Structure 1
């Protein structure tokens, strides 16, 4: 009886040892095949070198393409023109997975992705559901400021195993930014980004991605923390102003971000441009009102988006300002 008892105990010990070894080998194999990525909503084990990636915010597309990966799915609101034309051509063949605000879980699942890149503001409520479809990382883009955007790009690069490529991209961006900063020297012109002007004037606040980029370049942004801002339909951060309030700010430079929502007359002018108070603005009197593409200056929150803004200021806006001064 004693011999049988000890034999049973020994067998159990051996079984536990084997199970523990197997478990350790399995965990070790999993760790070798995955990389742990820290993001806004926690930590996620992502398979190394994922091939099929779905992105749920437009700004993430550039970061992914910069690493040599084309997304298989994009939440593009059913409007491919929201994506930069050159980039759109590079990712040709992707599947639209619905709107950025409410992406289709069914369409995402059908693509069988290795990785999903979500927005930590928009998609926190469906993060668990997305994670059941595929490993999901959540980063700031909708409400991202300049540094958030650079950090998100670096995190995406880590998730897809292309950190060195992104480090090079960020270094090139810093050089481009420094080159433009040098041209500004000591001049401190105030500037405002304006979107719609139909019923109310909507001004991007000082924490917005492009607003912060402009201050990095050398401008002084025309509104500060004292202004009340609000999320406008979840699309961007705006400050609502009347023409009288805008005249009080009276920026040296106005950037009109034009888009499909703007009401224009037959001459392509906004109604507000006929207002006598608009004509009193220094930027208007000094011919320093510039029209730019809203998709490029507002929706493309990425390193490449920042580079495009820098190039437009360097090649178009600064030379135009010099001619008019």
Structure 2
């Protein structure tokens, strides 16, 4: 009898161990692409809420989308535009970016945007994590073990695909289409107003980071808004720029833009918070045409805006039309 009791306990322990291991396996693999075994094991209600998302030529099979984690500022801006309230979201310096605070009300902090906490996301029972294509491989691998990770593109030319993907995930695809349609109409109207203003003029945007001036390729950051949507001509000096590139003040003066947009965030210049003020006192800065003629626009939108996202593009278009039409 004693031997029988020991045998039963052993079987029960093995059964519980297998159950626990199986639970962890389902957590890690809850939405692997084309996983037919997982789909056959889901309940009827899970099957009813499952979604197949196609984004930038990749397909993601999701059992549920109840708990969405916004693990990048790119995804956060799209969520804000569509009125999506994520379960969790990344922060910067322990806080949501100020321009996203209201949109992210109710979301749980899941750690810094450069390296979100896998543990915090796991506690929220994430169904899908909307990361960033800028994540380091190690970060992406770790988060991918918690739930399906979709790397949201930081490339400006993918902004429409980003917004539509968010719409698919949240049942707001029609709203996303409507927003895109309106934006295209607004672009046409803006071009009619602004193109005559800067015909044969040099238009440039610079970003001040760590006290230094940076320019971007024509298809990165806010540049597509300037050179595609608003019809400004791409300066020849940007043709050889392949990524974020530092330029000296002397080089900027040589470029001598007629219209200059400047983005400056104190958070990106913690060691040199007076960088912009120092520039504005410099006689070389004052020699630039845009500065001399009052065509310099500082932080036309929030300096933390990502540039190549729906929120950034919509906000920039509106601000540019308002400021340049004055």
- TM-score of the alignment, normalized to the shorter chain, above 0.5: yes
CA shift digits 1:79-123 (9 cap, x unpaired): 535241xx4223212111111211110011111122211112315
CA distance in 2: counterparts of 1:82 and 1:304, whole angstroms: 13
Distance of aligned partners of 1:37 and 1:317 in 2 relative to their CA distance in 1, 3 Å threshold? same
Distance of aligned partners of 1:96 and 1:297 in 2 relative to their CA distance in 1, 3 Å threshold? closer
CA distance in 2: counterparts of 1:256 and 1:171, whole angstroms: 29
Corresponding residue for 1:200? 212
Q: Does 1:253 align with 2:259?
A: yes
TM superposition score normalised by structure 2? 0.76
Corresponding residue for 2:18? none
1:136 CA displacement: 2.4
Residue of structure 2 aligned with 1:240, choices 234, 237, 246 = 246
Q: Does 1:174 align with 2:174?
A: no
Corresponding residue for 1:131? 144
CA distance in 1: counterparts of 2:129 and 2:282, whole angstroms: 48
CA contact (8 A) 1:57 1:119 kept: yes
CA contact (8 A) 2:87 2:108 kept: yes
CA distance in 2: counterparts of 1:124 and 1:179, whole angstroms: 42
CA distance in 2: counterparts of 1:103 and 1:119, whole angstroms: 11
1:166 CA displacement: 0.8
CA distance in 2: counterparts of 1:199 and 1:128, whole angstroms: 33
What secondary structure, in the 3-state scheme, does the structure 2 residue paired with 1:212 have? helix
Corresponding residue for 1:51? 66
CA shift digits 1:49-104 (9 cap, x unpaired): x22210111121232244442011111223535241xx422321211111121111
Measured on the aligned residues, the alpha-carbon RMSD in Å equals: 3.0
CA distance in 2: counterparts of 1:199 and 1:70, whole angstroms: 35
Task: Flag structure 2 segments of 5+ consecutive residues without an equivalent.
Answer: 1-35
CA distance in 1: counterparts of 2:209 and 2:69, whole angstroms: 35
TM superposition score normalised by structure 1? 0.76
Distance of aligned partners of 1:297 and 1:288 in 2 relative to their CA distance in 1, 3 Å threshold? farther
CA distance in 2: counterparts of 1:35 and 1:196, whole angstroms: 42
Task: Flag structure 1 segments of 5+ consecutive residues without an equivalent.
Answer: 1-21, 230-237, 320-325
What secondary structure, in the 3-state scheme, does the structure 2 residue paired with 1:195 have? strand
1:40 CA displacement: 5.3
